[in-house]
Structure 1
Amino acid sequence: MSYKKTAAFRAAQDRAPIYEALEEFKRKRIVPFDVPGHKRGRGNPELTAFLGEQALTVDVNSMKPLDNLCHPVSVIKDAEALAAEAFGAAHAFFMVNGTTSAVQGMILTACKKGDKIIVPRNVHRSVINALVLCGAEPVYVNPEVDHRLGIALGMSVSQVEKAILENPEAKAVLVNNPTYYGICSDLCGIVQLAHKHGLLVLADEAHGTHLYFGKNLPVSAMGAGADMAAVSMHKSGGSLTQSSFMLLGPAVNAGYARQIINLTQTTSGSYLLLSSLDISRRNLALNGEEIFAHVVELAEYVRHEINQIGDFYAFSKELVNGDSVYDFDVTKLSIYTRDIGLAGIEVYDILRDEYDIQIEFGDIGNILAYISVGDRNRDVERLISALSEIKRRYMRDKAGMFTQEYIDPEVVTTPQQAFYAKKESLPIHETVGRVCSEFVMCYPPGIPILAPGERITQDIIDYIDYAKEKGCSMTGPEDLSIERLNVLQGV
């Protein structure tokens, strides 16, 4: 019997120290002469009416009875210990600046200026942001691509081994577990290989909270023996937006990691976010297996029904090849749309504008409908019906559509050097051959088409033009219209 099934585990996990401290604080009816200035909502009636008195009364500042996020000694410390136990980690940090700050915390803990870190190029922008901040040098592993779906796959162990042998001074390897689309690399194999060569393994688990609690799902980072993981509790775990965990294995100095986190995370941690993490951790620790069994059942049902419609393709474990797709997260309802002649972003827009259905994202060839703890049967039936009707109403010839989501970059210099270098602004169509000094991406998913330090090619410009034409939400450049790009002077 696993520890998570024991009475002792369940008794411990039934506590929520931060939530309990806030409830006790409310009972005391303390008169506030501290911040925030709305004073439990009394100073901003419109906000109180909108968010509710219950929320505003616990939107409070750090104080002794409620502990301090930067230096926890009581209830936050206790809550961290419970979270670490629930996730099978040596330590857990409550993150209130989003998983972006957890990713930055991992990389800044593992790397200093000039250090090398091995990363897949299809990372979230937060990874490359961290490299801009700390000056570490990325060793990019260009993932294989599924040429039908046009999506980047995982890192193979052989690719990681080649990168390690060619860069023996590298300090760490970062792995997406899983990708936005549900693709999983051989995390156990990569951990074993990296540790053999003395490298730390970091996992971006922005989309992997459920891996720690569900059964028959891909391995979690801590389960695979990784050294650090950034976990978006708010995505599939039910906590409030912007609340996440940074998990550590036993080989990482927790005191140093907290110092790094405190460089970038707010000193005024929101108790709404902290308590949502505490309560959601308790819920998943006690009920996660049943919750995610239901999520898997829903996702598999919807996947089957969508594939019965025809021409849409909701892909799954049939992609597994034991290498670049080592496993697949079946909770991810990723759907290929190009066979009906529509880009994913076009289906995304139609679902929202005509059917009042908001999915997670649409890109050039796919959409992602996020199935999680809060979904109901009638909601997924509505999605299935809408997609069937969209096919009937909008299907057209797919000739001339872009087929590639991922374009291998040519890296010229490091993200930090490029971002802070002398630069000039040029019309985007005059930048071919130049080196970009900023980001360009569709958001979501937030994987850069261009990152600082990469050569701009005609294929990349064509992709950006096509994505803009199809209605993708483009972000990153200084010029919000994305008519101009900043490039390095003289390069």
Structure 2
Amino acid sequence: MTHLSQEKAPIMEALNRYKHMRVVPFDVPGHKRGRGNEELAAFLGEQSLAVDVNSMKPLDNLCHPVSIIKEAEQLAAQAFGAKHAFFMVNGTTSAVQAMIMTACTAGDKIIMPRNVHRSAINALILTGAVPIYVNPGVHDELGIPLGMSVQDVERAILENPDAKAILINNPTYYGICSNLQALTNLAHEHQMLVLVDEAHGTHFYFGENLPASAMSVGADMASVSMHKSGGSLTQSSFLLINNEMSEGHTRQIINLTQTTSGSYLLLSSLDISRKNLALHGRQVFEKVAQMSQYTRDEINKIGGYYAFSKELLNGDTIFDFDVTKLSVHTREIGLAGIEIYDILRDEYDIQIEFGDIGNLLAYISVGDRQLDLERLVAALAEIKRRYAKDKNDVFDHEYINPQVVATPQKAFYAPKKNLPLAESAGYISSEFVMCYPPGIPILAPGERITIEILDYIAYCKEKGCFLTGTEDSAIQHINVLKEVE
């Protein structure tokens, strides 16, 4: 591939040319550059609506790029060290699903950690692939799921030599990384594809002294949430391929589910953000890491909170840690992370990324200011002083090993009946129950409902977690398989 200048942003440049042409639009979208919807134009700005345009020859077509989008994809591939990069406008959810749908068909086995995002299990429902779960360890003190042990993955591979692929989180929502190089080498030794969910790892490609990225270790595919740490608009992501993965076939898989009306707002944001990271990413993420470390140190001085980092490393299930992540354990002050999440928003006008039962996560980026960091630290100190209580009131772990009875696809489409959640113990769930974020299912289709799981769900409700996944929006009832297996 010819080396391209990362100074270029082909999609943005083409949109600017198009704006200057003053073309009369007799095509969709019907707002006609905002003139047909004045309230929307006033809210979003005429500049935005002027480039909310339809696919056409001068602007290429996301389903089959031949010009500016193709060039933008080549630039992204070079920036990320990939064979090819696909622009994704249905979020990283669609990128994760495209990876699994590329690697697996109905009945194929795929090895994955159980603490995957719901998008991965959704892909199993769509494809009929069979999950071979490697249960992550749980950190005794923090109660959070860790990475996959190399030994556990090797055992899963030897017991399932016909598996087509392995899916790896890099990193987890909390910033924890498995031994990506060792797992990639192991899978390739057994002719399995390596798929990596890097929704929270965009910066690994551009920062220094950060964990290894999927492409750097020779993984076959990776889904990258540019809109998280990469600076692009929400819902915009990249799907990267490497090695012998077919660009044409992967594009066909993507086109099975991705919109045929790709938003040029999202596409241009990917293009501009890639340019920014390629040119300035090292300095950007060095600053983010410094801000995170400063805030971690200040929070740990408060006492009671534990903002964790590389001191957790154990060479295996916590092989590396993303130091840009500000993950804070809250159990010692007797408050669930979700309770602090609510207090920060309701009483201090501070919105953090998420709080779960024992931890919270504040997402720090180059857009943050020192004053903002100080305000967060001060709020946490005051919350401790005002609200701290007995730590025994807090649930002692986040992750419950599931009992998998049926494949997600079989359970999702099986004959079912609806039961009150409180009466469902012993039955097999045919739907999800999850706290969102982080979107890791507490229950997934095909898993047995246990008293322990019901107690955990009840506790999540009591603490104010936002539960989703069931047909019943109140999460009072659940669909289960008609027969208890």
Matched with 1:3 is none
Matched with 1:111 is 104
AA aligned to 2:85 is A
Structure 1, gaps ≥5 residues long = 1-8
Within 1, Cα distance between the matches of 2:118 and 2:278?
A: 30
Within 1, Cα distance between the matches of 2:167 and 2:346?
A: 38
Is the CA contact 1:150–1:406 (under 8 Å) kept in the aligned structure 2?
Answer: yes
Q: Answer yes or no: is 1:370 the counterpart of 2:368.
A: no
Matched with 1:403 is 396
Shift of 1:428: 0.4
Within 1, Cα distance between the matches of 2:78 and 2:105?
A: 29
Shift of 1:15: 0.1
Is the CA contact 1:210–1:236 (under 8 Å) kept in the aligned structure 2?
Answer: yes
Q: Answer yes or no: is 1:344 the counterpart of 2:334.
A: no
Matched with 2:284 is 291
Within 2, Cα distance between the matches of 1:230 and 1:172?
A: 15
Q: Answer yes or no: is 1:65 the counterpart of 2:64.
A: no
1:435-486 deviation per Cα after TM superposition (whole angstroms, max 9, x unaligned): 0000000000000000000000000000000000100000000001010000
Identity fraction in percent = 72
Shift of 1:138: 0.1
1:15-45 deviation per Cα after TM superposition (whole angstroms, max 9, x unaligned): 0000000000000000000000000000000
Shift of 1:378: 1.1
Within 1, Cα distance between the matches of 2:375 and 2:120?
A: 36
AA aligned to 1:414 is T
Matched with 2:72 is 79
SS in 2 for 1:30: coil
Q: Answer yes or no: is 1:167 the counterpart of 2:160.
A: yes
Aligned partner of 2:378 among 364, 385, 388: 385
SS in 2 for 1:128: helix
Aligned partner of 1:356 among 332, 337, 349: 349
Structure 2, gaps ≥5 residues long = none
AA aligned to 2:434 is M
Is the CA contact 2:334–2:393 (under 8 Å) kept in the aligned structure 1?
Answer: no
Matched with 2:13 is 20
Q: How does 1:239-318 map to 2 (within 5 A)?
A: 239-318=232-311
AA aligned to 1:290 is Q
Question: TM-score normalised to the size of structure 1?
Answer: 0.98
Is the CA contact 2:174–2:325 (under 8 Å) kept in the aligned structure 1?
Answer: yes
Matched with 1:128 is 121
SS in 1 for 2:234: coil
Within 2, Cα distance between the matches of 1:83 and 1:375?
A: 25
Within 2, Cα distance between the matches of 1:65 and 1:406?
A: 50
AA aligned to 2:423 is E
Is the CA contact 1:355–1:386 (under 8 Å) kept in the aligned structure 2?
Answer: yes
Shift of 1:84: 0.1
Matched with 2:428 is 435
Is the CA contact 1:237–1:373 (under 8 Å) kept in the aligned structure 2?
Answer: no
Shift of 1:11: 6.9
Aligned partner of 1:447 among 435, 440, 444: 440
Q: Answer yes or no: is 1:145 the counterpart of 2:129.
A: no
Is the CA contact 1:10–1:285 (under 8 Å) kept in the aligned structure 2?
Answer: no
Shift of 1:373: 2.6
Q: Answer yes or no: is 1:194 the counterpart of 2:198.
A: no
SS in 2 for 1:219: coil
AA aligned to 2:452 is D
Is the CA contact 1:361–1:367 (under 8 Å) kept in the aligned structure 2?
Answer: yes
AA aligned to 1:18 is I
Is the CA contact 2:170–2:196 (under 8 Å) kept in the aligned structure 1?
Answer: yes
Matched with 2:209 is 216
Within 2, Cα distance between the matches of 1:384 and 1:390?
A: 10
RMSD: 1.0
Runs of 4+ more than 6 Å apart: none
AA aligned to 2:333 is I
Question: TM-score normalised to the size of structure 2?
Answer: 0.99
Alpha-carbon distance change, 229 to 11 in structure 1, aligned in 2, over 3 angstroms: closer
Q: How does 1:325-336 map to 2 (within 5 A)?
A: 325-336=318-329
Matched with 1:42 is 35
Aligned partner of 2:178 among 182, 185, 194: 185
Is the CA contact 2:4–2:75 (under 8 Å) kept in the aligned structure 1?
Answer: no
